[in-house]
Structures are given as structure tokens and as C-alpha cells.
Chains A and B, each alone.
Chain A
Amino acid sequence: AQSVTQPDIHITVSEGASLELRCNYSYGATPYLFWYVQSPGQGLQLLLKYFSGDTLVQGIKGFEAEFKRSQSSFNLRKPSVHWSDAAEYFCAVGVQGAQKLVFGQGTRLTINP
């Protein structure tokens, strides 16, 4: 069965520091991979996606992610975080194409001033 693991439930970083959020997936075919962000009381906003091609993908708000097939990973990175990045981040794999999204449990990001 398809699954997504986000090992870190909660991460705290200082403003201006670099960030890496981990995501590992289990899926038998070529995955469609997504990162979404959710601010409190809000819906999910797409940060970036990987369908095929270049394994390093750029997203909105200065985020990027790298698909590593050998490690079944799709880690999210940002070189310098801002206080407004505090939110919950979800990694997802699209199964049956992108019909159904299977989500990880989420990583809550706190930013220290």
C-alpha cells in the first residue's frame, strides 16, 4: 500500500536559518509528489510538485525539493526561513496518477525570532 512518512512531527528553527523537512514515500510506480502548506484555520496551499523530469523542483515562497528515487525521498528545503513560514507542511504522493493524494502526518514548523 502507498504511504508517506514525515519523520519530524515538530521542528523549530531560528529566523534566517536554513530548513529541511524530510519526506519518504512508499509507492510501486513512478510517483507524483507534492508539498502543501497549511496555515492555522486555512486550507492547503501547493508549494511545489514533481511529476517527471528534473529532480530538483522549485516552488513558491523560495522553497525547493529534490526527488531521490534511490532513497524514496522528496525533502523540502529553504535556504533562509522567514517568520511567515511558520505553518504545517504536508508531503503527499499521488496514486492512480494524481487522483488520490496520500498524505504524510505533517510537520509543524515553528520559527524563533
Chain B
Amino acid sequence: GAGVSQSPSNKVTEKGKDVELRCDPISGHTALYWYRQSLGQGLEFLIYFQGNSAPDKSGLPSDRFSAERTGGSVSTLTIQRTQQEDSAVYLCASSLLRQETQYFGPGTRLLVL
């Protein structure tokens, strides 16, 4: 079946612009996660959605970062007023249930000039 998909695959933006990154989880998966992979920090948890529960935002690095999940499926990660240190690969994952294996998408590579 189809895996986790993310778009765009690459994004180049100028410092100060806003960007939106999209994640389509595996159909039927109730949990969705965002991670960031950067050279300096490795792989970091950002945010987690489970069904209709309030998301766990404990990993978001600043209030410039936000995410939403509409209809319990597609999620959008928004970065406002991008900074050069936001340059990274943003990975999305989904799992069938809360305590199940996470399956990752190919990521969105973000470059902030």
C-alpha cells in the first residue's frame, strides 16, 4: 500500500518568508509525528498528533513553528519568518495506534537562504 508522502520534496526560501510543509499519512493511521533532521542536532521530535486529542507540541523549537492536522489525516507544518537555522530535513511519520511502530515519509528538504 501507499506509504507516508510529503510535499514538497525540496523547498528553497528566503529568510523571513513563511513556509508550509505537507504530510499525508498512511491511510487509517491515527497517530502522526513530525521530526527535524539537521546536521548539528541530529533527529529531533517536533510534534505529535493522536486522533482528536490535543497535540503534544513539546518539541517545537519556537513559537514560529506550528502544525495542524485536518480531519484526522493530512498535516501541515508551518514555519513563520524562517531563519537560516531552520534549514533541515523535515520528516513526517505515522503509526496505526499510539504505541505502534512509526513509518516515515521521504522528508522535505528545506533550505533558507
Contact = CB atoms under 8 A, between A and B. Distances in A.
Contacts of A42: 106
A43 B104 contact: yes
A99 B50 CA distance: 9
A34 B93 CA distance: 14
A62 to B, nearest CB: 19
B99 A46 contact: no
Dominant SS among interface residues on chain B: strand
B13 interface: no
Interface in A6-45: 32, 34, 36, 41-45
A86 to B, nearest CB: 19
24 contacts: A32-B99, A34-B101, A41-B106, A42-B106, A43-B104, A43-B106, A43-B107, A44-B93, A46-B101, A92-B43, A94-B99, A98-B101, A98-B102, A99-B31, A99-B50, A99-B99, A101-B35, A101-B43, A101-B102, A103-B42, A103-B43, A103-B44, A105-B42, A106-B43
Interface of B: 4, 31, 33, 35, 42-45, 48, 50, 56, 59, 91, 93, 95, 98-107
